[in-house]
Amino acid sequence: MIVQRQSDRLYHDLLSPSETIDARLRARKIADDIVAPRAAAIANGDERTDGFPRDVFGALGSAGLFGVGFSADVGGQDLAHPAAATAATIEELAYHSSSIAAVFDVHCILSGNALNQGTDDQRQRWLRKIVSGEIVGAFATTEPEASSDLSIEALQTVATETSGGTTWVLNGRKRWISNSPVANEIVVLARTGERMSMFIVDTTLPGVKVGTPDRKMGNRGQLTADVTFDDVHVDAAELLGGVEGQGLRQALATLTYGRIGIAAAGVGMAQRAFDLMVEHLSSRRAFGRVIGANQHWQFLLADRATEIENARNLYLKAALRLDDGNPFPEPEAAMAKLYGTRLSVDIARDAVQAFGGFGFARELGDDGSPGPVEALYRDSKIGEIYEGTNEIQRWVIARQILGREVAG
C-alpha cells in the first residue's frame, strides 16, 4: 500500500550530515522498489515453508546496500559517518519490512561490525564477502540459559586450545541465532579459560549443527534457530582480532551498535503505522464526518508525531557519537533502543484501534488482501526483547545516572 510519508512534511533533519541524508534517500528508493512488493508475503509467511527471503537479500547485495557502513578496502562505501548512514538505512527498510531490517541488522551490524574488529586477513576473507552479499552472516552470544546475561559465569559455550596451538575446539549451544539457518559464517562468543573470546565459525565445519527454524509471532522472514557445536575444530586464524580474551569488549561494542539499528527499525515501523493511521483517519467516515475530526485522534496524532521526532533524533545522536569515535555511546544508545522500540509497539497498537476490524484482520476475506496494520503489531514487539531487553536498557541508563557502585 502506497501512503504519504508524513515525515517528509513534519521532520526537518538538521542533525544528519549530507551523506547520511543521501544514504537515506538511496535506501528509500531501494526499499520502495525491492522490499515493498514482497513485504506482505514475508510478514505473513511461515519460517519453515517459506524460508529466508533470499531474493530480497540478493537484490539488496546487488544494489550495494550492504556496503553503507564499511570502508573501501573491503568494498564498502567509505562514508565519513557510517553508523548514521547504516541506521538511516535500517529505518527505511523497516518502514516496509521489519524482517528485512532485522536481516540487514544481523548481517551488517552484528556479524559485519564484529568482523570489522578482526585482523586485516579476517576482514579480507570474511567481511568483504559480507559487504558484497556473497555470504550470509550471523552472530551468536545468546544461550539457552542466558540471553541478556553476558557474564563469564553464564557463558557455557567453551573453546579449548589444542596442544599445538593451531586450532580451538568449540563445544556448546547457542539459542535464537538470527540468520543461522542460511548463514555461511557465525561469529561466536565462547569461554577461553577465565576469559571470553570470539571466533569466526564456518558453518560447513564438522560438528556445527543448525536446528529447525523457530515459528514466531512476528518477524517471520528473519529466521532464528538453535546452533550446536560438538567438538568443532576452528583454525587459530579465526580467533577474532587474533588476540584471546577480547570477546566481551568485542561483543558489547557490536551489540551497542546493534541497539542503534534496532532503535532505527522501531522508528521505521512507528512511522509506517503512523502514516497508515493518518491516511485512514483522514478518509474513513463515521457519524457523518471523517474520524480524524474527533479531537481524541487529533491529540493522539500530535503526541505520536512528537514522539517519532524524539525517537529519530535519539538514534541519530547515538549513531553520530559512535561515528565520532565512541564505541559505547551511552546513555544515548540505550535510550534510543528503549524509546524507539516501545514507540513502535504503541503506535502499531494505536493503528489497530484506529482501523477497527480492519486493523485486527490478517487477511481480508473478500479479496484476500493483507490487513493494513496487523503485521506491524506482531512485528514490533520483538524490538523490546532482542539485542538487550528494554529492562536491560533501563538498567544501562540508570547505571549512567547513579554509577556502578549503586546500580551494579
Let me know: does 373 contact 362? Beta carbons within 8 Å. Answer: no
Strands (E), 75-154: 137-140
| Of 99, 116, 84, 398, the residue nearest 264 (C-alpha) | 84
Q: Which residue has the cell 485486527?
A: 360
Phi/psi at 12 (5° precision): -115, 105
Q: For 344-374, what is the HEC assignment?
A: HHHHHHHHHHHHCHHHHCCECCCCCCECCCH
| Of 295, 216, 285, 275, the residue nearest 7 (C-alpha) | 275
Rounded CA-CA distance 88/154 in Å is 34
Query: Cell numbers of 296, please?
Result: 481524541
**Rg (the chain; Cα; Å):** 21
Let me know: does 28 contact 205? Beta carbons within 8 Å. Answer: no
Catalytic residue among 194, 387, 391, 405: 387
185 in active site: no
Q: Is 91 helix (H, G, I), strand (E, B) or coil?
A: helix
How many other C-beta atoms can be found within 10 angstroms of the C-beta atom of residue 206? Answer: 9
Rounded CA-CA distance 172/169 in Å is 10
* Catalytically annotated residues: 387
